[in-house]
Each structure stands twice: as C-alpha cells, then as structure tokens.
Structure 1
Amino acid sequence: MNERDLRTLLVRATEDRPAGIDLMPAITPRPRRILVPSLAALGAAALVTVIVTALPASQVSAQAQVAAALSTTSGESFRVHVESDGRSWDGAFDPVRRTGVIAEAGDPSETRFVGDLMYQKPAGAAKWEALPRVDERLRNAPPTAALVKLAPQDPQAALERLRAATDVREDGAASGPGWSGRRFVFSLTDGSGSGDAKFRSSALSGRVDVDDEGRVRRLEFDFPEGGHRLVMDIAGFGTPVTVTAPPAGEVVPGPVDASGGAKGEPAPDLKGRDAKPAAAKS
C-alpha cells in the first residue's frame, strides 16, 4: 500500500464521522520542565570520588588520587602495623564507628579509642586514664608535628592529617602481600602561620602507596630532624573491630600537657589487645 492509497482510505473512513468529533484535536503544549541542577547538592567529597573513579589515573592529579584514597580508607575498618626506630605497634581501627585499639610489641599496657576519648592503662596501673583523643589534643598543632605524633599513637587520625600534604607526585608502581597499586611522594610543611609556634618543625617528606581499589596500603615518612623513619602498613580491610570503654568505676581522668601527652611522660603509651578481628580481607 502506497501513500496515495493511505490517503484515500483515511478520507473514506471519515465520511460518516458525526459532527463535533475532531480526529486531530489541538494539542495544548505542556509547560517545559525546569531542571534544577543536581551537582550543587552533591557533597564535595562525593564529587571528588566520582571524578577520580570516572577518569583514568593519568587524567587525575596525584593530590586528588591520594585524597580520594584517604576517603575510601576511612570508610571501613582495617588493621595496622607501625614500625619506627626499632619499636613496633599493632592495632585495629573502625573509622566509621570511631573505635580502635593499638599496642606496642612487648609492652603489657593498653589503650582503647571510643568516640572522642582514649582510655590508657599503663603497665601495672590499677585504673584506666581517660583522655581526649590525641587528634583532639593536637587540633592546633602544625601538620608535621601532628603527623609525627599521631602516626604511632592514632594511625586513623594520622591518615586524615595527610590531607594537608602538598607537592604530591606519582612515583611509579607499588605492591605488597596480595595487592598492587601506585606510589605517591609528598611533602608536608607547617607554613609560616600554621598552628602553635612551639610545635613547628621543618618540612617532612614521605611516600604513600594506594592499591588498585583506591585504598591506602602503606605510609612512610622521614622525621624532619634526626633522620628517623616511620612505616605504617594497612591491611585486613573489613575486619570487625570490637572495642568497649572500661567500666566507669575503673576510670580516672588523665592529666594532659600542651604537647598532647600525659603530664610527665614524653608521649602516651598507646597499647591494646581488645580488638577481635575475624578473617581479614587482603
């Protein structure tokens, strides 16, 4: 059937149409919808993550990749091993629930992290000491001093301080047990007006490894003075971490000095054996 036949058929079909019936009524145009921009409602962190995951690594700045890795790492629990100057610590943290525990090898004392508080029980002590978390006490400290202090004491908080890193550059491939990824080098400076002057130190340089799933796996940095180095390895992502505060009757307020440690001590002994990890995911 061609176009002419169709026209003839249409004319015949409408010959007996009752009056008042319009086979093709006028169509009232609908008002056009106004789309409200949705990007304005996105959180900055979510937007960065979307951009980083959508683009090839070569098109995303090194600083953005590290920032996205820090956000990803803070979204699930993990285990951590820290080494510095012949000393080592092992711990487990749940950033979402803000709980954690860490212990120095060979020392029976213990420290737990629950919410805004840390509970420290030195070896041989009868009571726990309750103190604000180290990151709270170092809120006004310059970035380098805070990172040096936090790394062996509160690794979870130390990772957050890496957001202040500058001059972040990709430095080739990285790998470890069960993972592979990229290495980034960075520098951290206090700046002329950053934090409390009595805590200021010279620039700190370091390296951070990010696996192919976008999680921080290893942090290394050299202390600004003295030639010391700290290495932090992160694994066991998704491992449940069970930490509870000590009974109220066994807790006393702990004294705090300006440096963020207990008075009379160079730094709090942050220990712990209260984490109960299940089988870890590498």
Structure 2
Amino acid sequence: MDLMEFWFRSRVIIDELVEKFLKETREWEVMEMSKYIMRDGKRFRGTLMFLFNGALGGEEKNAYPGALATEILHSASLALDDIVDYDELRRGMKAAWAVYTNRKVIFVSNYLIPTALNIISGYGEKALKISVDLWKDTAVGALKDMYGKDDDYVRTVELKTASLFKLPAMLASFSSGKIELLDTLMEIGKNLGIIYQIVDDYVDCVTQDKDNLVGSAKQLFSLTTGRYESYVRLKYNEYKERYIQLVRSLPIDGEYVDQLLALPDFLAFGLIGESGIKNKIF
C-alpha cells in the first residue's frame, strides 16, 4: 500500500470515528456545531497516528483514540483561529463563527478541547501531561503568530503548527508500547510540522497580495524581504534531512519505511498542488 492509499484508508476510518463520537454527544446543539467544526478535514494528523503506530508494530485499534483526539483538537484550533483571523471561509464553506457566532463556537471549542484530552488520558498520565503541554504550546504559538517578531519565525511555526504534529507522533509511542522512542517521535513530529507550515506559508506568499498576508506567512515575507523562495527551499531541505535521519533511526522495516520517508514530499506537494500554483521551490 502506498502513502496515498494509506491516507485514503485512514480518512475513512477517522471519519467513522468522528461520526461515532458526534452521535454519542448528548446535547443536540453541541453535536450540531461540533459536526460543522469537524467536517471534511484532510485528517493528516490522525493519519500520522495510524502511520507511526503501525510502523512501530502497534495494533491499529489502539491508535483509534489518539487519532480521534488529535482531529478533535486540530478542528477546535482551526475554529478558534478563524475567529482571531476574521476568516470567513474554511474548506470552501462559511467558517463556524460566521454561521453560529463567536460566542457559541468558543463555548463548543471549550467543550471539545477537554473532551479530547480526556480521550487521551486513556493512554496514561504521562501521555496526558505531554498533550496538555503541547496544547499550551499551540496557544503560545498563536500569540507569536499574531504579535511575534519576524526573527522568531521558525519558533512561531514550531509552536503553532508543529505541536499538533508532535501530538500523534508522541501518542503512537504509547499506543504501540514503544515509550522508549517518545523523544525521537516528538522530534520527528516537530520537523514534519515545521515543513508543513513553511510550505503552507510559501503558498500564501505566492497566492496573496503582500498587504493581505497575516501571521507566520507575513513573518516569512518580512523576514526574507519578499525573497522567500530560496529561504523556503533551504529550510525545507534542512528539516527534511533531519526528519529522514530520525526516521531511519527507528526500529522499523517493510513498507512503513518508504511511507514515512515519503511524508515530507507528500505533504509539501499536496499543499502546492491544491493551491494550483507552479512549483518553484523543488
């Protein structure tokens, strides 16, 4: 199974997990808004949970809670980001706040976040503590995204985005019973998340007027004084090399090696292809 097939298969499973979770939500209004917030995601982060868990020899069902919790947290973070950024669209439809109002989305997000952390608690106290710390990192990253200095660009990216890539990689060490690999997996998730966000910011720099850029994309443009292509190419190769070295240090074999090694290009080319821009950095 190649990485594309693995992702398609994982999306189906994660969508089923999300649907089951929503059906078990007893408050109708909470369920309705949660369903809207969690609709039509790419499920990349949940897929990472399956991928790393499988690569480490874990049973797939043991990764279900972590994949679901990761997607809940990611969806809640996007809903809150849209409020902060005044983004009226998300995945081709109105953002949740534009449909249900800011207050309701904040309230529902405050329901989803502890619910996800409670799911994660099933992996044990240590997994929960790390997850709470990672969620705190996303909050700091959101502040840096809005008010941080251009020179802190990579740190901003690590906190705001890579934290939720570190999460499923970290949880896979618990679901697979390979806790001794925890630190390596966290570092792998960090590098992958930085790669993802740098390319995402590159896409924004190419497709948007410089006066409309916000957050880390604006920081990238300012940091490079508009000459962002060579910087993105350099950083992409730097973090991809680190990622590959870490993956090769893991005790895995078979098809998972090729799938894991293909992840950086898979995510980067996916973002660029989705945007419809001409690839100028690879």
> Which structure carries more strand by proportion?
1
Q: Greater Rg, structure 1 or structure 2?
A: 1
Which protein is richer in helix relative to its size? 2
TM-score (norm 1): 0.27
Q: Higher RCO, 1 or 2 (CA under 8 Å, sep at least 6)? A: 1
